[in-house]
Amino acid sequence: MTDLYIKNTKEKFDVLVVGSGITGGWAAKEFCERGFKTLMVERGRVVEHQKDYIGEHKGPWLFDNRMKVDNLLTAQQHYVQKLCYAFSDSTKHFFGNDRDLPYTTAKGTGFSWIRANQLGGKSLLWHRQSYRFNQWDFQANKADGYGIDWPLRYADLAPWYDHVEQHAGIAAHNDNLDVLPNSVSQPAFEWTAPEKMLRDKFSSLYPDRPMVMGRAAHLTKPTQLHLSQGRVQCQARNECQKGCSFGAYFSTQSSTLPAAAKTGNLHIAPNSVVHSLIYDSRRNRVMGVRVIDNDTLETREYFSKVVFLCASTLGSTQIMLNSKSDSFPNGIANTSGVLGHYLMDHNYNAGAVGIVEGFDAEYYSGRRPTSPYIPNFQYKPSRYAKGYKRGYALAAWSSREDWRAIAKQDGFGVDFKRKLTQAGRWRFGLSAQGEMLPRYENHVALHATKTDKWGIPQLAIDCQWSDNEKRMMDDAADTAKEMLTKAGLKGVYSYTRYHERHPGIAIHEVGTARMGADPKASVLNGFNQCHDIPNLFVTDGASFCSTATVNPSLTFMAITVRAVDYAVNELKNNRI
């Protein structure tokens, strides 16, 4: 695909898509398939499907430190990135270099900004959990008066969920729950025996808290469409973050990028760090982007009729804040003054774990890439718990202890060595996935003096958990412990960790350029179009008005294709 890549060009494209992750890949695919000449601008290096998955097919024993990364180089280059669940010796090449990507946090706060600056972005690293928002998620802000009302509803997005699910491939059971709308799905993954038992017990003990199998963007029964893309069935290796040459999970490389490239309408400008947007005040239009070469630091410009910012929540907002002019002295399209504000992340900071007895003869095969899930059972004000607004879902997991747990137990001699080769006790846990309220004071801004290696002002992040989030996690820990205890588990203990885990580490940051019906209180309209500038769109997480409790990536995809459909219609009618 070398003919895809360009560096210098005088061509004016129909569309510039900034970013190549989940949203950028979808924007490029949709525009290209509709006949628009599209340039994808990516700040990082090229990663080619299969060829550049250098950690794939390598067992832990083939790495010097058995995949562990804990040395001076890590301390210098990956002191934030190493906090991510997916970071190891086999995946570290897919993560950003913290030394070259500095940012600051306000005193007394913290934020873990996980970055993957390469073609495909974090679509190579995401955990692939794929759930639709429900009708109450779009109404929560209005219902309880906290935050701005979403300018769209579930019915507006439902056909676009259908659209992206058919292409991406979602392994999911149709559970027919109002709180968790069904997806266009493929067969779900199988349950372990203890999970089946606990599913039935929870159903009896807590009928309002159904446990379902987690929905994941994996092909369990590929359609002809998927096979035509070169994608095949998931092998259940659960080594997804190394890259998947089977194309079995959804990523830019496996799915949207080849679809866009097939049209002949796509070009990609890699190693192009966007400095700012080029704005024409006479026409009130963005004309393109100024970029700085990732390696040589030389500057260049790219031009188009429309710009889609898909650079990640904080990436897109940083570009907008740095795009200043006489018309927009505080950042482009920011007459509302809310650009950078209402930063949110998911609140994954509590849970409980216990031992399941009675299944010593049971095991499981494969490495299933998902796990059971209990949807938010506090999804509207009438169901809120006392003491806090909104609610949380519970992610479940089960496994048998192996030598890593047994090695910490007392023992000696032949019998102990033999024990190390045997499976240990079954453990089962529930982990909270809570909503974070949109608050003006949680925000990002450009640092007044500090810049990065490209001369771009660093982001200064001021974000912390409120009392609402802390009370939510305290309740989640108590609730999870109660559920496991009543279900008969032994040795149950609970935990909270909001005091030590900052926002950001859930990697679900959203907000900072939110949608809204009122231009005085929002940056974007209901189609992700800037109120102030009609040919500028932002379709990543920056556009969100609230977090809900479900993983956001599927909604990123759906709002992006909906925005493309709207932009195409506006272009054809010469309104932008």
The sign of the dihedral angle between the CA atoms of 66, 71, 77, 78 is positive
Q: In what order do the strands lie in the sheet with 372-374?
A: 212-213, 372-374, 392-400, 426-434, 350-356, 490-496
- For 531, residues 6+ apart whose C-beta sits below 8 A from its C-beta are 333, 335, 336, 519, 522, 523, 524, 525
Here the tokens at position 342 are 């209402």
Question: DSSP label at 253?
Answer: I
pTM: 0.96
Q: What are phi and psi of 395, to 5 degrees?
A: -85, 130
What's the confidence (pLDDT) of residue 2?
Answer: 52
DSSP letter for each residue of 157-222? HHHHHHHHHHHH--B-----BTTB---S-BPPPPPPHHHHHHHHHHHHH-TTS--EEPPBSB-SS-
Average pLDDT of the residues in 147-163: 98
CA 255 to chain CA centroid, nearest Å:
17
Here the tokens at position 177 are 């729950």
Nearest to 137 by CA among 510, 427, 477: 510
Q: Is 239 helix (H, G, I), strand (E, B) or coil?
A: coil
Q: What does the pLDDT look like over 25-53, one tens digit per residue?
A: 999 999 999 999 999 999 999 999 999 99
Average pLDDT of the residues in 347-351: 98
pLDDT of residue 1 exceeding 70, the answer is no
Averaged confidence pLDDT in the chain: 96
Domains and CATH numbers, the chain: 2-49+115-169+190-215+251-451+465-572 (3.50.50.60)
Q: In what order do the strands lie in the sheet with 104-105?
A: 104-105, 457-462, 443-451
* Amino acid letter, residue 38: T
Here the tokens at position 464 are 């912390």
Q: What does the pLDDT look like over 473-489, one tens digit per residue?
A: 999 999 999 999 999 99
